[in-house]
Amino acid sequence: MVEEYVCRNGAGKYLAGLLTDTSFSPGEGPVPGPDKQKVFMFEFRCWRVLTCLWLIMCAGSLQAGPGSVPSEFGLSPIEVSTARSYAPFAQGAQASYFNPAGLSIDPENSMALGSVYASPGLKIQSRGGKEPAFRTSPSSNTGENNMVMLGLELDLSNLTTFDVPVGFGLQMGIDGGGRDLLQIQDTVSDAGQPAFFGKKPLVIASGIGIGVYRGIYLGLGGVISLTARAPIKLRTTLGGETSEQEIMVTGDTRGSPIFGLRLEPSEWFNEDNFFSDFSLALSWRNHSYFALEMDASADVEIQSTTLTSVPLAVKSLDGYVPAQYELGIMYRLPWKIELAGSFEFQNWKRLNSLISERSDVSNQSDIEFRNIVVPSAGVTYSGLAKHTGLEFFEGLKLRGGYSYKRSPLKSEITPGVNLLDADRFILATGLSWTFSVPGMTNPVSVDLAYQKHQLKSRNTSIAPPYDGPPIFAVPDVVERVSLSGQVNAFAVSATLRF
């Protein structure tokens, strides 16, 4: 019941007070006559009913906005340690999300369990203004990410009589140490809030890869996202007594398609040549997001007679990941060194129209995003055992990567919401070790990675919400701030083959 839901969040007594308090404060002018008092009390209580409904819908913990762990850091230590430059060449379950074509290149039966942990250390430094916000420290209170990853890859090559490699992959990621299935928060901030860090959407991706011809591999997959709708109905008296409460939450899933292509020229030639050391990858992933819509209405009654019905509808958008087009190229050097580079185009402009359709809070702030291109480069070295002569290092791979990401947030001022973001340099390193374990039929792999985002300082302004429509209003700047700092991310995984 709605009433129980509100009371569990400690709002019951406050809501009752909102609906019953009709005191007239001194200094507000002469006390109105009896007729005007009734009108005043009725209108005043109607606004309090609105506030009651708003608190009912905000009583849960919801967290929203663009961004997710896979798009910011990666799904496995391989992407994390190479600054996502190896994402187009992903193999294993994580290829379901980045490029499903990789599932058909040397497919195997494996299961991977891991975690990606990110700790933002962002600083919001005030540069003065007429009404600076109170902050106990310059550090932002952005939450940490602790996403648990579970991946499954299956070799389906023997499923048919066709002599072609076929692989299937399923990748899941749950934040909060595996507890936060869905968190949405579409809120204003008078002190500024980071736009892309600390978001915790659920990650579910699956895909299949097929080798259609020698050296040509295709993949098709999808990312699953959720939309939810929660109608709320109740009856209330002017005294704050509610009855006939009704709430029903319905959820739907929507899929965002993923297409991938891998080209391996080494399979086109009978002899080694310059082109046989190259690999090419191309992938496209449509945008995905989580949406929440709440429709509430309260029938206000006096002595069993309905005076009016107060409606309230709120829409929220969460975990937006833009449509991405990615091109990758890899070159293998003779000394067991692989060089990889990628260019990723991200279509953030689509978010501008989605905000107007699905986010009531952000839509009031006149936010504008821009498309960006993210270049990345990475390297893998696997010749340590050969060059040192020590078998101990057999199966060891060392990785590193670098990337530069321009901020997709174009707006310098976002009144009310006050989103903050900056361009960033990304450095990464890590290792992978594949070894035999007594009692295990197949080798086991352990991967570790570290990634650092260094933000360039960016100056912006803080402003309260617009008084009217953004097209006619002028931002009332109350404080100027600068955003800087860094984000540290760690990843670990273990892969078992069967």
CA-to-CA dists, residue 1 to 86, 243, 480, angstroms: 49, 10, 45
How sure is the predictor about 142, in pLDDT bands with cuts at 50, 70 and 90? low
Beta bridge partners of 252: 227
What's the confidence (pLDDT) of residue 282? 97
Q: Which residues contact 43 (CB under 8 A, 6 or more apart)?
A: none
Q: Which residues contact 316 (CB under 8 A, 6 or more apart)?
A: 62, 64, 184, 185, 186, 291, 292, 293, 358, 359, 360, 361
What's the confidence (pLDDT) of residue 278? 94
What's the confidence (pLDDT) of residue 251? 73
pLDDT tens digits, 98-115: 999 999 999 999 999 999
Query: What gap in Å lies between CA 338 and CA 162, rounded to an integer?
Result: 32
Structure tokens at 368: 């504008």
Residue 338 has pLDDT above 60, yes or no: yes
Instruction: Tell me the average pLDDT across 297-315.
Output: 78
How sure is the predictor about 469, in pLDDT bands with cuts at 50, 70 and 90? low
The answer to whether the beta carbons of residues 460 and 126 sit under 8 Å apart is no
pTM beyond 0.75: the answer is: yes
Say whether 364 sits in a helix, a strand or coil: helix
Buried b (16+ CB within 10 A) or exposed e, 343-364: ebebbbebbeebbeebbbbbbb
Stronger pLDDT, 329 or 460, i.e. the higher one: 329
Nearest to 347 by CA among 324, 374, 314: 324
pLDDT tens digits, 17-31: 333 333 333 334 444
Percent of the chain with pLDDT over 70: 80
pLDDT tens digits, 203-213: 899 999 999 99
The most confident of the ranges 17-31, 327-341, 363-377, 462-476 is: 327-341
Query: What gap in Å lies between CA 89 and CA 78, rounded to an integer?
Result: 10
- For residue 34, how many other CB atoms are within 10 A of its CB? 6
Residue 171 has pLDDT above 50, yes or no: yes
The answer to whether the beta carbons of residues 22 and 51 sit under 8 Å apart is no
Residue 295 has pLDDT above 60, yes or no: yes
Query: What gap in Å lies between CA 133 and CA 478, rounded to an integer?
Result: 9
Q: Nearest 5°: CA angle at 262, between 207 and 435?
A: 75
pLDDT tens digits, 342-366: 999 999 999 998 888 877 767 777 7
The answer to whether the beta carbons of residues 474 and 466 sit under 8 Å apart is no
- Please provide residue 241's backbone torsions phi and psi, each rounded to the nearest 5 degrees: -90, 120
- For residue 1, how many other CB atoms are within 10 A of its CB? 12
Percent of the chain with pLDDT over 90: 45
- Give the least confident one: 47-61, 79-93, 314-328: 47-61
How sure is the predictor about 452, in pLDDT bands with cuts at 50, 70 and 90? very high
